[in-house]
Structure 1
C-alpha cells in the first residue's frame, strides 16, 4: 500500500470521501450560489450529512471571467455575488465541508468543452496563489482537473502538474483533501498515492448502465493500489439521475461501495425522491463503503450471466453478485452457498450471512435477480 505522511495527506481521507459535487446535474451555466446553499440545506434535511456525506464541492464555472488586478481568481459577479468566502461560511454553518475546483493548465474544462468565456482561469503559473486564495476562503477539498493542461505551451506532464499543486497544499496551514483527475491516462494508481488522496481511474461517467459497467470493469486489478489515505476514483455517482432505473441506481451504489470508491452524489438533492434518498443513505451499504480496513473489492469470478465480487472487511467479507443481463434470473441459497438455478456455485456465504441492503439474514431458497440487479451480502468472520 503506497501512502505517505506528507503534510498534504496526513490524517485525511482515511475512509473514502463522501459528499456532493455540482457537475453531473448542474454542469456549468445552471450553477449559482442559491443552488449551492439550497443543496447544503438538502444535505442536512435529507439525512445525508448525518449519514457521512460531509463535502459539498463546487465544480467548474464558479469563476469570474478574469483574474483581478493582483492575478487572483474571483467568483462570478452575478452567479456568486456574495463571494466564495461567504459561501464557505454558509456551508460550514451547516456542519459541512467546502470543496472547490481548479485546473492545472491555462484553461478549465468548461472553457474547452462548454464555451465558458475566460482568460487564464487555469492555475498554470498561479499554483501557490490559487491555493492560498482557496485556503483563505475556507476550502477543505480541492478537485484538480487535467483539462488538456499540456496545451498552450505549458509543457506540463500529468505527474508534474499534480505534484506542483500537492506541494502548494503541503506548504499551506489549511488541511485539504486533494482529488486529482487525469482520467486514468497515465495509470495514476502507480504514482498518485504519493501525491493525492484520490485519483480518477477512467473517463467521465454518464447516467446510463453501459457507462456504469464500462467503468466498473476497468477497476479490476486496481485494488492493491488503494487504501486509507488514497483511493481509486471511478468518478462521481449518477444515482438518481435520469437514465438509470431505480434498480440500476442501487446496483451502481453497491458496486461503488464494493470498490471502496469515493461517494460523491451528483443528483439534484433539492428534488430528490424518497427511493433515491434511501439508496444514498442505506446504512448497510454505507458500512461496507466506509469499512475501516480500507480494502478495495475485486471481481473474483464470472459465471455467464453473473459477476462475483468480494471485499475484505474488518470483521469479515462483503460478497456482491451482479446480474449483468437484461433479463431476470433466478439463483438459489442453500447449504451456505449461493448457486445458479442449475446448481453452479457462485459464492460461499456460510452461516449468518446478511443481506447488506435489508439487514436481514440471507434467505434459504430461491433468490430472484432483476435485470442489472446486484445482491450484496455481509459475511462475518468465523
Structure 2
C-alpha cells in the first residue's frame, strides 16, 4: 500500500509547530518485554552479502569490525545473521540446523563469539514454511520455516543465545494461509515463554499497516518494501514515513528497513542524508554494509555520535515533515531536553537554499537559541531564520537549543559560535 506524499501537515500553523511536535500521540500499547527502549542499533548481513555471500567468517569479521571501528562504543550492539544460515532440512527431532559448509562451528558457537566481544547476536526466521531466499534466491532447502515448529524453534533460539529475532513474513499468507497478527503474536508468546530477553522485529513490508496493530506484538515492524542502495529507493521510503510519527514509542518502533550506508550505489552525500533522516525518524540503525571493508567516509557517517544521539533520544514523537516545497523539504523532531532537531533535505540534483523560520519551528522569538550543525561540528547563534545552502541529494542536520524559562535545555554547545543569518 502506498502512502500519498502530503504537501502540507496540520501541525505547521506558525508558532504551534513545536507544541504539536512535542505533544505525544495517544500512548501506544507497546510490547511489554522491557526491551528496545531506544531504537536498536547493529548490523545485518542481508543488504551487502544477501544469501550466497554470507558465512561464519563474514559474521565474525563483522563483529570484530564493529569493535575495531568504534561502532560498538558509539552504541551499536546487535550482529544479526539474516536468511541462508540454515541447513537444507531439519534434524530427526525437527530442530533447525546450521548449514555445515558455511557455518561449520554452528550457531551457538557463533553467538558465543559475538557475545565475547561485548555484542549481542541476532538471527532470522519466518512464520511460514519457506524463507524469502527459498522463494526469491532459490535457496535449496525444505521445511526450514517455523510453521508447525514454532515452539521448538523459539526454544532452540533461546538455547543458542539469540538476543534478537528478525521474523520475516515471506508469503506465509500464500503458502500456509496465515494471518499476520496471529502468526506474529504466536512467536511473541513462545519467545516470552523461553525466559530469555529477545528483541522481536517483524517484517511484512507495510502491506497491512502494521503501525496500527503491531505495537503490542513486536518491538519493531517494517513499514516498507525492501530498501535498495539508490536515491530513488530512499526517497520513496521517506515519503512513506511522513504520516507515521504518531505510531512510535519506546519499545515500539517504525522500521523503514536496514541502512544502505556505504553500499555500492549510494554516494557519500546520499549516505549522509540517509543516515540523518533515519536518525530523525527514531528508526532502528542496522548497518547493512561490509563492516570489515568499509572506507573511512562510511565509518565517519555510521559513528557520528551527535546524529546517533538524535536517533536514541525520545522527545515524545518521532520526526516528521514540516514542509514540502518539492525538491526542498524541512523535517523536525522534538528533543527530550527541549529544543528540536532539524533536517533540511535537498532531494534535487542541484544545490539549493533551504530556510525555516523560528516561528515555523515554534521557537520563542525572544529566546537565545543556538543551532549545532551535526555534520560540520559548528555552533551558531540562531537568528529569526535558519538558512542553509544544501548540496544536491544531501542534507543539513542541526540541533537547536534555546535558553530561558520557556525552553529548558540539556544540550551543551562548544564555544565556536557565529551568528546565523
| Structure 1 segment 338-353 matched on structure 2, within 5 A | 351-353=369-371
Work out the CA distance in 2 between the residues paired with 1:97 and 1:47: 16
Structure 2 counterpart of 1:133 = 156
Work out the CA distance in 1 between the residues paired with 2:72 and 2:387: 37
The answer to whether the 8 A contact 2:31-2:219 is kept is no
Structure 2 counterpart of 1:38 = 61
Q: 1:167 aligns with which of 189, 205, 224?
A: 189
The answer to whether the 8 A contact 1:362-1:377 is kept is no
Unaligned runs of 5+ residues in structure 2 are: 1-26, 408-421
| Structure 1 segment 282-293 matched on structure 2, within 5 A | 282-293=304-315
**RMSD after superposition:** 1.8
| Structure 1 segment 263-282 matched on structure 2, within 5 A | 263-282=285-304
Unaligned runs of 5+ residues in structure 1 are: 339-344
Work out the CA distance in 1 between the residues paired with 2:328 and 2:315: 27
Q: 1:182 aligns with which of 200, 204, 207?
A: 204
Q: Deviations over 1:308-340 (max 9, x none)?
A: 11101112211111011110123569xxx48xx
- What is the aligned residue count? 369
The answer to whether the 8 A contact 1:15-1:294 is kept is no
Give the alignment's TM-score, normalised by structure 1. 0.93
Structure 1 counterpart of 2:18 = none
Structure 1 counterpart of 2:250 = 228
| Structure 1 segment 6-17 matched on structure 2, within 5 A | 6=32, 9=33, 11-17=34-40
The answer to whether the 8 A contact 2:31-2:251 is kept is no
Q: Taking structure 1 as reference, are residues 88 and 322 closer, same or farther at Cα in structure 2, changes over 3 Å only? A: same
CA offset at residue 172 of structure 1? 1.4
Q: 1:91 aligns with which of 104, 107, 114?
A: 114
Give the alignment's TM-score, normalised by structure 2. 0.84
| Structure 1 segment 356-367 matched on structure 2, within 5 A | 356-362=374-380, 367=388
Q: Deviations over 1:117-167 (max 9, x none)?
A: 111011001111001101000000000000001233x22011111111111
1:376 paired with 2:394, answer no
Q: Taking structure 1 as reference, are residues 48 and 163 closer, same or farther at Cα in structure 2, changes over 3 Å only? A: same
Q: The residue matched to 2:246 in structure 1 has which SS?
A: helix
CA offset at residue 5 of structure 1? 5.9
The answer to whether the 8 A contact 1:205-1:236 is kept is yes
